[in-house]
Chain A
């Protein structure tokens, strides 16, 4: 019996209950009459209405093929609504709960400080696992616990089953443990005649509906109260409200009472295994965890080796981060520390599981993933996860971490489908409380998956072509002519213009791509041509400018699709007295290939790029290598480093490191080089009814940490009105190959972004990454929206006087 509030978040101060009214509300029937459970059984003599399939909603099993799970998720409107509401609210609540801590207790308690502390503690534990394990076992055993090390899922299941059999246990109560789901314990026990009841509310409802939890921390986030009411009604044989959540919650207290009192075994998980004292730490909210671990005479803890942590001090740091990262609560209601069986009447077993963890530990990259504390922040922030939920975005373990660990726990096939949903936006890395490099680990999984399963032939063809600069150049020039029948001279490939050509096989595919966002066209005169033939007097010969030489790396998209963006960049640079050189040998940086898991072609393009940049730097004595594509910049300064480290190519690594310091993106260049030098851009004011809204591209904000820089240019330098859109830093949906492989997901992300942009009423949408701009423009064109989409450089260039 409890009171419910229809508030959406847990954040401090916003969900206060009053203690004045202590009357526990009784379960009520739909007429508002109070009923006692026993009475209900008598009054409902007639059979209750059948659970309607639509109400309960077809449960998803991870044993269904990925494509089916994905399709099912995309059609699930309840899921879309629930996750759509949750994501922005969680983001805000999480920022609030961390900023409250920082304001109250100082910068040492900021998210940034705490996550570094916990990362170090977990890294120590991973590094010293054998010692900590020995210490934990010794202490736990000294306290009377029995410790069993299971190498495989089968061993863990068998151990627990044998224990039940020996003791004649046929009913087990469980509190939340992901490890038991990982090994599919419930199924194993039930096959052998042992009933395992989930006592966590969300887990129980999922179990009743024969489905997996869709989220590691909020198991039934994808279910509506109507669905829950229906499931509970069917399970209890009583009519449970479809609207009153308090009544629904009250059901679990009465339904599980008998199980708690009669079960022979309680199975729990562990949030941490504290080595110094052999103590199991468990964080819960509902109170079922303490009942599961206290009432039955046998208590079994299931935990992976990765839960080991050295000391109580480390555990306190984890306490400060876990609940805040998971649900934006400051702390869970109960944090329990169990050291051996509490009394002589109890028996305690601790089952430690490997199941691929030691393989991860042996891998220099993947061992970082063992830091995970299972908070699910990486799921909560993930834009594609928000569209499809945990059943599709994972396999038992979901969210970004799920994509990383699934190959190790469940095999590369299990993870192959889910990993394709990652758009590499890097949002997960910004919220991980233990600083796991999730985006690059997911790309590692992707390239391993491609190695195992083979890259699709079309990608091999495309990337193989891109890695051959002359061939690539020739084909794009041919395409710029060949596309004319379907572009009809416009800057877009529009679905409606394709006409009868859409009957042809490949063209029909292009038409389907263009339906929701018009595609760009190959410029008949790419940037490299325009440079060669340009009039040098682009320069406005300012009175006082920067005396710098910049080597301009345009990137393949700007060069061949949006040369006008490149021209704008050059115009702006020359207006401030910068000498711009354009190495004609430049090609693609390799990002598309690397992003698709094609290391071979990616490495080839990386090496070409490095050689070309070195030559150009030397030849022109350039001060900077500038790119107006933050994707390319991140690829060169971050991805190349990791790539060459992984491949053991020390020479190339050193050459990249030497180049790194000179590489800068356009926005940073404006902010860190141009503005501080006091250079004045000769901008003229435009019509005052123009306003701008800004999209933070993923590479710009999540990888390079840029946020205020572009805004400063827009507001302070150009004097334009800036209107912030909601969720300006959420991915636009381009995600490289993901928008091709999963157009439905990409389309929804794009529409969210454009709706948010439009909601500001601004007439110009600005970003500083050509990939995003291509995607955004295409969407605006295809949906007939009225907002102009430009690169930051174009916004500036438009306001410079003509030469």
Chain B
């Protein structure tokens, strides 16, 4: 039960579950290491990346923006859905990750922020290692907190587990439908 998963490395469990569903994830020691990984990823072949508005001011992620620019990546803030649709790469952050299912929790209210995770072809997600919880039970508690009425009420949250998929045609699995066709989670240790 809970004991089994706490003693085992959470990230190992998370990685096992996410990769089984076609997602990708890496554990890194710093934001710089994350920036390096992203810049080197094949989705960044065109050296273009979309981020949510005001992402560069967001704690603790903001500094990655300049790190990526230093690597020659052209970064633009998401605007209308039409402007983001099928952009090769998007970057955002998650509130938490859950090892039980290999999922990350996205909780952006603003539409411009959400389209980064909905319409880009490869979606990169940053999450703190300390924000990794073992089971859905903890996720339920967090969802309850985040959806409470108040100025920071999160009205639209998604637990994302891998890239979009369908098996509607002859039960043949196809990855990449309306949502991203690739999901890459970067778990930052510091």
**Residues of A in contact with B (beta carbons under 8 Å apart):** 1-10, 12-13, 15-17, 19-20, 22, 24, 82, 85-86, 104-106, 108-109, 142-143, 199-202, 205, 218-221, 223-225, 228, 245-246, 248-249, 252-253, 256-257, 260-261, 276-277, 279, 285-288, 290-291, 293-295, 311-313, 315-316, 319-320, 327, 329-343, 345
Contact = CB atoms under 8 A, between A and B. Distances in A.
Q: Which 10 A-B pairs have the closest CB atoms?
A: A287-B179, A2-B176, A202-B168, A287-B178, A312-B140, A287-B164, A286-B177, A106-B1, A342-B156, A335-B159
B101 A246 contact: no
Q: Which of B5, B144, B149, B169 has the most CB of A within 10 A?
A: B169
26 contacts: A3-B176, A4-B172, A4-B173, A15-B22, A22-B122, A85-B171, A104-B5, A143-B155, A220-B169, A245-B174, A277-B144, A277-B148, A286-B164, A286-B177, A286-B178, A287-B177, A287-B179, A294-B118, A312-B144, A313-B140, A319-B136, A331-B159, A337-B147, A337-B156, A339-B156, A342-B155
A249 B169 CA distance: 8
A327 B156 contact: no
Contacts of B115: 294
Contact of A290 (B4, B143, B158, B176): B158
A158 to B, nearest CB: 28
B4 A105 contact: yes
A316 B182 contact: no
A7 B81 contact: no
Contact of A253 (B17, B110, B143, B177): B177
Interface in B109-139: 109-111, 114-115, 118-119, 121-122, 135-137, 139
Contacts of A288: 177-179
A334 B140 contact: no
Contacts of A316: 136-137, 139-140
B169 A333 contact: no
A130 B137 CA distance: 26
B6 to A, nearest CB: 11
B63 interface: no
A331 B161 contact: yes
Interface string B7-22: 0000000000101111
A339 B164 CA distance: 23
Interface in B159-190: 159-182, 184
B161 A333 contact: yes
Interface of B: 1, 4-5, 17, 19-22, 24, 42-43, 81-82, 85, 100-101, 103, 109-111, 114-115, 118-119, 121-122, 135-137, 139-141, 143-144, 147-149, 153-182, 184
A22 B173 contact: no
Q: Which of A105, A337, A343, A345 has the most CB of B within 10 A?
A: A337
A336 B5 CA distance: 25
Contacts of A276: 144
B89 to A, nearest CB: 10
B19 A16 contact: yes
A311 B140 CA distance: 9
A11 to B, nearest CB: 9
B155 A333 contact: no
Given A24-B181, A288-B177, A338-B156, 10 more contacts: A4-B173, A106-B4, A285-B164, A286-B164, A294-B111, A330-B17, A333-B160, A334-B161, A336-B157, A336-B158
B139 A291 contact: no
A200 B158 CA distance: 18
Nearest to B121: A24
B186 to A, nearest CB: 14
A663 B176 CA distance: 57
Contacts of B135: 105
A267 B110 CA distance: 20
B179 A22 contact: no
Contacts of A345: 111
A82 B101 contact: no
Given A290-B179, A294-B114, A249 B174 contact: yes
A740 to B, nearest CB: 34
B182 A19 contact: yes
Given A1-B181, A13-B20, A338-B155, A333 B165 contact: yes
B22 A285 contact: no
B86 to A, nearest CB: 8
B171 A252 contact: no
A321 to B, nearest CB: 12
Contact of A1 (B17, B159, B176, B179): B176
Nearest to A348: B155
B82 A334 contact: no
Contacts of B165: 285-286, 333
Contacts of A312: 140-141, 143-144
B67 to A, nearest CB: 22
Contacts of A104: 4-5
Nearest to B159: A335
A792 B31 CA distance: 69
B107 to A, nearest CB: 9
Contacts of A257: 85
Given A277-B147, A287-B164, A330-B21, A2 B174 contact: yes
B70 to A, nearest CB: 23
Contact of B24 (A19, A246, A256, A332): A19
A343 B111 contact: yes
Nearest to B173: A15
Given A257-B85, A287-B118, A315-B140, A339 B101 contact: no
Nearest to A218: B168
Contacts of A327: 167
Nearest to A4: B174
B177 to A, nearest CB: 4
B144 A7 contact: no
Nearest to B114: A294
A17 B175 contact: yes
A19 B135 CA distance: 27
A1 B121 CA distance: 9
Nearest to B115: A294
B22 A16 contact: yes
Nearest to A327: B167
A6 B170 CA distance: 9
Contacts of B141: 312
Contacts of A3: 174-176
B27 to A, nearest CB: 16
Contacts of A24: 121, 176, 181
Nearest to B119: A291
Contacts of B177: 2, 201, 249, 252-253, 285-288
Q: Which of B85, B141, B158, B168 has the most CB of A within 10 A?
A: B168
A282 to B, nearest CB: 9
Nearest to B148: A277
Contacts of B118: 287, 290-291, 294
Contacts of A315: 140
Contacts of A20: 42
Contacts of B42: 20, 22
A22 B43 contact: yes
A220 to B, nearest CB: 6
Contacts of B176: 1-3, 24, 249
Contacts of A286: 164-166, 177-179
A6 B172 contact: yes
A331 B101 contact: yes
A108 B182 CA distance: 33
Nearest to A89: B171
Contacts of A22: 42-43, 122, 182
A109 B5 CA distance: 13
Nearest to A249: B174
Contacts of B159: 331, 334-337
A249 B166 contact: yes
Contacts of B179: 286-288, 290, 333-334
A121 to B, nearest CB: 12
Nearest to B5: A105
B173 to A, nearest CB: 5
